[in-house]
Amino acid sequence: MLSAPGKLIIDLAAIQGNWRRLSEKLPSATQCGAVVKANAYGLGVAHVAPALAAAGCKTFFVSSLTEGIELRKLISRDAIIYVLHGFELGNESEFYAYQLRPVLFSMALIEQWMKWIEQAEKFVPAAIKVNTGMNRFGVELDEFMQFAAIATQFMQNSTVLILSHLACAEERQNPLNAEQLSQFEQVKALALKVNSKLSFSLANSSGIFLGQNWHYDLVRPGAALYGVNPTPESTNPMSAVVSLNLKVLQVRQLKKGECIGYGHCYQAPKDMPVAIAGGGYADGIARVLSNQTQGFFNAKPVPLIGRVSMDAVAFDLSAVAQQQEQVNFIELIGEHQCVDSLAKNAGTIGYEILTQLGQRYEREYRVSKS
């Protein structure tokens, strides 16, 4: 693998399988989309999006215009692409050129978009995001009432989708889920009076698992496609997608009482063989993992010891002392340690682990063996 700090394997067949599994959970009238923002959660949109399209996905969500343009070049013109962060004044025509649909999250954006459509005499369908309790983006229900004339005109002519986002969907019992649902129901009732052809979308990955009431016409999973557990309170229903093996650069012997790495923050309680492996915080192995996680060799845990450096980490090989000569890779993410458990050790969530995975690894994309 030449000089890469490790090997990152991304299983495209597993992503496709996860998308199909989610699709199968849905009522037949509900479509399963895919969120591929942030370079498909760090996994490589150029590989992931075409794989999802091949599995049958027709609707994609990205964050920005730049991501939308990149995605449009990767998939066919028929695929629908929504841009979650809407448009900015001056870049409207790019949405038309690349057939991207802006998600409009304020009355001001809606008015600006309407103005542009009228002036340019071009039609690009748009989505409206409404706030039902996340309080991040979105038009408020009472703003719809206040700007009823504009809202009505826009929903009649230019809107195809109304969406909202759940704030606590991964906590099944959180009362906010039902509150957001009931808010969204009100929005839906209001919107349908204006235009009966509108579609609705509420659920992210975890929202899908809250049940059919949350499904509406279109669901928007991201994390679950990439193997992150959408139901953290129970076992992961999704297949693992990512594995990361760090390359061992040196095996050395640490004597009892010796310390290792920056800050000498680990002292050997006994003589031990130690592996120095490639990969560090520059590759997304968070520095807070210093002394806080483990790797695996031959299914045996090998604790990560001392500070995570920019480009290197150390592992205590005591558990595999007999085989220390053969230790050339250490599994950091894989069969024995999933993305979610590594995230837990780092005090974060799987989403952050995935999106931080570095660019220096050798990347292998697995496709289904058919």
Q: What positions carry a catalytic annotation?
A: 37, 262
CB nearer to ligand PLP: pick between 82 and 315? 82
CB nearer to ligand PLP: pick between 101 and 165? 165
- Evaluate whether 75 touches 49 at the Cβ level (below 8 Å): yes
Whole-angstrom CA distances from 336 to 23, 206, 300, 319 are 28, 24, 9, 15
- Evaluate whether 272 touches 350 at the Cβ level (below 8 Å): no
Stretch of residues binding ligand PLP (CB under 6 A), selected from 204-212, 243-251, 330-338, 340-348: 204-212
Full DSSP string of 31-48: EE-EE-HHHHHTT-HHHH
Q: Considering only residues 324-363, where is the footprint of ligand PLP by CB under 6 A?
A: none
Exactly one of 35, 117, 244, 274 binds ligand PLP (CB under 6 A); which one? 35
CB nearer to ligand PLP: pick between 237 and 301? 237
Q: Considering only residues 159-198, where is the footprint of ligand PLP by CB under 6 A?
A: 165
Burial class (CB in 10 A: 0-12, 13-18, 19+), 264: exposed
222 binds ligand PLP (CB under 6 A): yes
Exactly one of 180, 204, 309, 337 binds ligand PLP (CB under 6 A); which one? 204
Stretch of residues binding ligand PLP (CB under 6 A), selected from 147-155, 221-229, 294-302, 325-333: 221-229
**Rounded distance between C-alpha atoms, residue 33 and residue 52, angstroms:** 9
**Rounded distance between C-alpha atoms, residue 162 and residue 129, angstroms:** 6
Q: Considering only residues 63-102, where is the footprint of ligand PLP by CB under 6 A?
A: 84
205 binds ligand PLP (CB under 6 A): yes
CB nearer to ligand PLP: pick between 75 and 161? 161
221 binds ligand PLP (CB under 6 A): yes
Whole-angstrom CA distances from 119 to 111, 122, 179 are 12, 8, 39
Q: Considering only residues 111-170, where is the footprint of ligand PLP by CB under 6 A?
A: 165
Token output for 364: 């292998």
**Rounded distance between C-alpha atoms, residue 168 and residue 341, angstroms:** 20
DSSP state of 361: S
247 binds ligand PLP (CB under 6 A): no
CB of 201: closest distance to ligand PLP in angstroms?
8
Full DSSP string of 13-79: HHHHHHHHHHHHHS-TTPEE-EE-HHHHHTT-HHHHHHHHHHHT--EEEESSHHHHHHHHTTS-TTS
**Rounded distance between C-alpha atoms, residue 35 and residue 70, angstroms:** 14
Token output for 190: 């209001």
How many residues interact with ligand PLP (rule CB under 6 A)?
Answer: 12
49 binds ligand PLP (CB under 6 A): no
Decide the pairing of beta strands 329-333 and 242-254.
antiparallel
CB nearer to ligand PLP: pick between 37 and 360? 37
Stretch of residues binding ligand PLP (CB under 6 A), selected from 51-59, 65-73, 219-227, 241-249: 219-227
215 binds ligand PLP (CB under 6 A): no
**Rounded distance between C-alpha atoms, residue 70 and residue 57, angstroms:** 17
220 binds ligand PLP (CB under 6 A): yes
219 binds ligand PLP (CB under 6 A): no
CB nearer to ligand PLP: pick between 316 and 340? 340
**Rounded distance between C-alpha atoms, residue 94 and residue 238, angstroms:** 36
- Contacts with ligand PLP by CB under 6 A lie at 35, 37, 84, 165, 204-206, 220-224
